[in-house]
Amino acid sequence: MIMINGAYLEGGVQIVRTALALSTITQESFEVHDIRKGRKDSGLKNQHLYCVKSLQELCNADSEGAELGSTGLRYYPKKIIAKNLDIDIGTAGSITLLLQALLLPAMFVSKPITLAITGGTDAKWSMPFDYFNNVLLPQLQRFVRIEAKLLKRGYYPKGSGKVEIKINPKFKLNDFSDFNEFHDFLKQNIQPYDITEQHHLIQVKGVSHASRELEKARVSERQAHAAQGILGRNFNVPIKISSEYQDTFSTGSGITLWAIFSKDKNDIDENNPVRIGADALGEQGKKAEIVGQEAAQNLIKEIESKAPVDSHLADQILPFMALTRNSKIKVSEITNHCRANIYTIQKFLGDVLTINEEEGIISAL
């Protein structure tokens, strides 16, 4: 039983989600204690329980402590089963945070599967769907073929957004005698991550979105226009930000931007894509122009760091990096979230990741 301190550094539930993902593929049971210790509402919340429930469907896992408010969890994985999953979080709980637990083991099933997930697509303190689709997924295609579709936006508090993820595996865990053999195979056959320079900025893209009732106020267009204005004054490259409206159960808006870089000005490197993202969410009483400006300023800050991996992508990419050998990424900021993720990964895979604090580089040995 692997023992994990859920209060390590910031004590966020990302520790639990990463542990669930790695436990399921390594088939190593774990116990985590002091989940969200010190928070006003400590322990597991509804959206966290769906991470456990989803993986129980994927591998018939057993668990103890998977209940609202629980500050401790034991998880016992079993063999992964290739099956389609239809998951309804029931609230505006983040779909992309659920995928932090579910996606990694689902990538290595024995046949193509589809994940249909209902919940929040654009929520506070989590990556929006557009960031997931346009910044993170390009980094995972070396492992698997994934197609993600946004069927409906879901804003706080009612959520009810819908996402469909089609996974066509390239490498199948069940083809190997155990995880160690599978891990050795991946380290020998997966092209290492080599993302240490931005190179040339080629273009900036984005999606500005809002619920249908905000269309008369042109909220989506105003967000996009404000972002485009700031970016256009700072960068002499094509900038394309689309605007869209959807019927949603709760009123909301947001904007996600991503900058695309390449070593060759005339060709984008698909093997080691360099994409830096930023986003902002609308709130009641917050002008659309402020939302657009906030996203643009966040993106500019990341670009001006000269690092090719933004601080949020660093968190997301680490479990996948840990499956490779001789990988290296340079990040704009090594956050406590990032350090907590490395701590959790080391519990299952050993000291496979190292940090060069001075240079902001994380490496997979």
- For residue 157, whether the previous peptide bond is cis, meaning omega lies within 30 degrees of 0, is yes
Q: Which amino acid is it at 206?
A: G
Tokens of 138: 């390009």
Q: How far apart are CA 267 and CA 139, in angstroms?
A: 17
**Of the candidates 299, 360, 283, the residue with the CA atom closest to the CA atom of residue 329:** 360
Q: How far apart are CA 215 and CA 170, in angstroms?
A: 42
Handedness of CA 119, 290, 338, 132 (dihedral sign): positive
Alpha-carbon torsion (334, 11, 296, 294), positive or negative: negative
The answer to whether 11 and 37 are in contact (CB under 8 A) is yes
Q: CA dihedral defined by 246, 250, 253, 259, rounded to 10 degrees?
A: -80
**Exposed e or buried b for every residue in 276-294, given b needs 16+ CB within 10 A?**
bbbbbbbeeeeebeebbbb
Give the dihedral sign, CA 36/41/43/49. Answer: negative
Task: Give the span between the Cα atoms of 29 and 15, in whole angstroms.
Answer: 15
φ and ψ at 50, to 5 degrees? -70, -25
- Asked if 172 contacts 110 with a C-beta cutoff of 8 angstroms, the reply is yes
3-class secondary-structure state, position 116: strand
- Identify whether 337 is a catalytic site residue: yes
Three-state SS for 294? Answer: helix
Q: Which residue in the list 48, 183, 312, 337 is annotated as catalytic?
A: 337
Nearest CA to 225 out of 283, 290, 153 is that of 290
* Three-class DSSP category at 345: helix
**10 Å Cβ neighbour count for 268?**
16
Q: Which residues are catalytic?
A: 337
